Structure 1
């Protein structure tokens, strides 16, 4: 019997619960959140029996009590990145494997990096436990795409461009497709990219160009920003000389974001209002549309992929590996838009890899450290097929 405990009942948590119910490797599911009513609402959508529970993921003793009561084989963490370490602590205390979709960042500092979680390596190894970090799409599938390029298409990977496009439209004046607090912290952080053995820092969203996306999506503006998978990829694939991450943003999104920054609404430090301490960004999150409400409104597609360039048989070569996902098709299947779907499905596939021992180790791991092919085969059968464009003109993004 393979039982999973899912912690987090947002948009991604809903997709994870739906897709776990479809997985033959998973025989029992518990969905837990700070607000159990959210868990029950998701469970009611699923024919497979899903147990629910209330837990404060900031509280290690509460987490330990829940894990000891439910006795899962694996904990799938789709709560907030601030809670990664408390959940990892609880897994260590109870002897249970761990998986998440995004790396840790402190609540009071908009800085996300793997150092805090990599520091758990020896503790997980000593306990004979496995922690799989970043099993979403980016990070996650993009790491696996890079590993596939290194395994099958290039003798040496020298450059990667990770390119994430949301070519969808929800019709709202301003809304984020996942947790507004996390989204805005990420987008407004300084940009970093890897070049010639070091990180190069530039202003947020200062580098822009147009990219012609496949399958009829067409040209869109992409902006360079920092994203955590670059940190693990340049560590585990040391031939990489340059790594960049690019994301699309509409002019409307950027206009609203600029105004919100100018008036201080994206601040993450406390301010006093009517005798109370509030964090402006957390207040903004409360008044913006809930990303979970965007599912029935969103039309269009996402396109997320990796262009990898390097050497094959002594010659320069590139390969473009990507997925296209349709917002409306996702909503018909799991009542969610494609942003949550493309994060939630890889989390379940990563869980299946661990539960079936296709991916197994003791310690803390990133996705690119394992064989990419069984993961991508399962990912395709669960709704996110992979497209490979082998070769083509060496088209460097600057």
Structure 2
């Protein structure tokens, strides 16, 4: 029995709170904290068991440290903004609390996703006897575990990896992002980096397009190569990996709107002066776009996220596809959320469960693929993200 503090009350925070509440034998006490406590209270009111709420500014390390020292949780689940990862890690170190997040740190002034800042905490967490688990969402997160599971059960070596993420759903809005608009647009407009023949190759954002025929009736969709943070840790931790790519679907409508917004400067992350005030255009754009948490009742259709690994077993080439399909409407019925938040929030709960039950343990900073994939894969089937394995002829 354990106590957790969930920091962040957006779409993902709501899912994490709901899913932790469904497993009372592990999550005995849940505290949901955010800068805006009213959001926490609204989520707590939806949940059928007691969830306490609190107001906390995740950027204020002394205040957050004092809060953690008072509450004495076994684990902090960070589903706040990626900009706040380091301040929350600092507070966890100061208060002696284990840490988990779903997305790697990104400095506010640069759209640069990389693990270097968090990996630099390795010795500090180790010295304190604490564990930090990074990227326990879907991608990153489940995709790392899918890869580790295939490396353990299907291959002696994986040589090529393609991570393919499709949102085949529709919310009917002219333009809206399925998770935090600021983070989404920064991610999509950043230059693409992929791993090819053991080296990183950079290309312009969304400049490489393919078509992929998604399973179970979803059918063919355009996929665009882009950089995603799990590539950085997987290429470091999966032995023998020579090439790794990440692909995501985007509708023509989304790309048209994004191009116009870029052309008129609304995706800029540097401040501009307006009526005597400094504003950041992308943050203003976020304020006028629909809140992703409001898209739950509007979104129909499915997501499909999976990994295709190409490698060798017993001297023979082999290719395996492991994927999950998630239904937006089913997610809304269960936890009042669309599938994008659901597919991130459920793995955050499972990663926390792995740590709190001792199935995953260690001292220092870890990525998901460094842990035993088997108990996590079992829990995906149990808690709402069932997966399918298909062998592809070569």
Q: TM-score, normalised by structure 1?
A: 0.98
Shift of the alpha carbon at 1:238?
2.8
Correspondence 1:393 to 2:393: yes
Q: What SS is found at the alignment partner of 2:169?
A: strand
Shift of the alpha carbon at 1:38?
0.2
1:325-376 deviation line (CA, Å, top 9, x unaligned): 0000000000000000000000000000000000000000000001111001
Q: What does 1:99-138 align with in structure 2 at a 5 Å threshold?
A: 99-138=100-139
Equivalence for 2:4: 4
Q: Is the 8 A contact 2:296 2:337 kept in 1?
A: yes
Q: Is the 8 A contact 2:157 2:239 kept in 1?
A: no
Correspondence 1:87 to 2:82: no
1:66-108 deviation line (CA, Å, top 9, x unaligned): 1112111000000000000000000000100000000000000
Shift of the alpha carbon at 1:393?
2.6
Equivalence for 1:140: 141
1:283-319 deviation line (CA, Å, top 9, x unaligned): 0000000001100000000000000000011011100
Correspondence 1:189 to 2:198: no
In 1, Cα distance between equivalents of 2:37 and 2:119: 31
Correspondence 1:28 to 2:64: no
Shift of the alpha carbon at 1:144?
0.2
In 2, Cα distance between equivalents of 1:65 and 1:380: 38
Equivalence for 2:357: 356
**Count of aligned residue pairs for this structure pair:** 393
In 2, Cα distance between equivalents of 1:289 and 1:66: 32
Deviation >2 Å, runs of 4+: none
Shift of the alpha carbon at 1:157?
0.4
Shift of the alpha carbon at 1:380?
1.1
Equivalence for 1:230: 231
In 2, Cα distance between equivalents of 1:192 and 1:138: 16
Equivalence for 2:176: 175
1:132-185 deviation line (CA, Å, top 9, x unaligned): 000000000000000011000111000000000000000000000000000000
In 2, Cα distance between equivalents of 1:238 and 1:226: 20
In 2, Cα distance between equivalents of 1:62 and 1:43: 23
In 2, Cα distance between equivalents of 1:208 and 1:177: 21
In 2, Cα distance between equivalents of 1:231 and 1:168: 28
Correspondence 1:289 to 2:294: no
Structure 1: gaps of 5 or more residues: none
Equivalence for 1:307: 308
RMSD: 0.6
Structure 2: gaps of 5 or more residues: none
Q: What SS is found at the alignment partner of 1:292?
A: helix
Equivalence for 1:379: 380
1:7-38 deviation line (CA, Å, top 9, x unaligned): 00000000000000011211000000000000
